[in-house]
Amino acid sequence: MCDDEVVQHAHDEARRFSRRTALAVTGGAAVAGAVFAGTSRAGAAPGLPRRVVDLTHTLTPDFPLWRGSAPVVAVPTSQIGPGDSGFATRWMSFSEHSGTHVDAPAHKIGSGITVDRIPPGDLVAPLAVISIAGRARSPRDLLTERDIAAYEQRHGRIPQRALVALHTGWQPRTGGVQAPAFAPSAVTMLVAERGVVGIGTDTLSIDRYGDVGAHTAILGAGRYAVEALANLAAVPAAGATVMVGAPKFAGGTGGPARVLAVLVGGVF
Ligand SMILES: [Zn+2]
């Protein structure tokens, strides 16, 4: 469906719901909210401080999307009545590739697994954050094998089965679709020589605009990607554990995900 058809469909659905529930629907009601820092201290065993950093952007209708993506639409379908009677619900419509989201292998590879079939053991992983924020001035800049070598010299070898996140410092609202990304050869190296379970980025795409090589390298290896991560500057380069709350949409090519970094131990 093109954007107009999607919006029309969303509004048709909203009308259908509103008739059923006799609600006045304002049409495309927005989810209020802004990007939040999302850092909190959770309860932990004595002597074992734990901090959780939210690597997820709040999904709003105005969050930047890839060109041609269906819009994010949220419509109230029932409301809480007097005395807190009833329940509040909303109907939502969005592309699987909206906000902070997972790309499953099926997003690029015809025979690739869909998002519901990503092994749960791959969704909890050591987090390695490689930053090129200091030098990423152009949307054509790439993370290369040289950046991986520099990272490992400082922080040690990337552990097996890690999620490697690229911190460009650009963010979706600053770069849009034009932003620094992974060099495909660096992704191939991370898969073949470091056995990563996935890669992530703080921009809208793991590939430079117009390229597809990073997608092909990671998704072609049966691994996944996470795009539009938040707060990568708030986690250590090494030592955190990431939990990727990928949705279990049957047959999904990906989907919005809650991504959390868990930091355990006195060093954080
Ligand atoms: Zn995607």
CA of 175 to the centre of ligand 1 (A): 16
Q: Looking at residue 33, what is its pLDDT? A: 29
Which run of H or of E encompasses 93? strand 89-93
CA of 62 to the centre of ligand 1 (A): 17
The pTM score is 0.83
Instruction: Give all domains of the chain, ordered by start, each with its CATH number.
Output: 1-30+69-93 (no CATH), 101-264 (3.50.30.50)
CA angle (177 as vertex; 174, 178 as ends), nearest 5: 75
Residues in the chain, pLDDT under 70: 1-49, 266-268
Q: Looking at residue 10, what is its pLDDT? A: 53
Q: Looking at residue 12, what is its pLDDT? A: 60
Pairing of strands 163-167, 124-131: parallel
Would you say the C-alpha torsion 9, 79, 255, 27 has a positive or negative sign? positive
CA of 5 to the centre of ligand 1 (A): 21
Q: Looking at residue 171, what is its pLDDT? A: 82
CA of 102 to the centre of ligand 1 (A): 6
Distance of CA 171 to the CA centre of its chain: 12
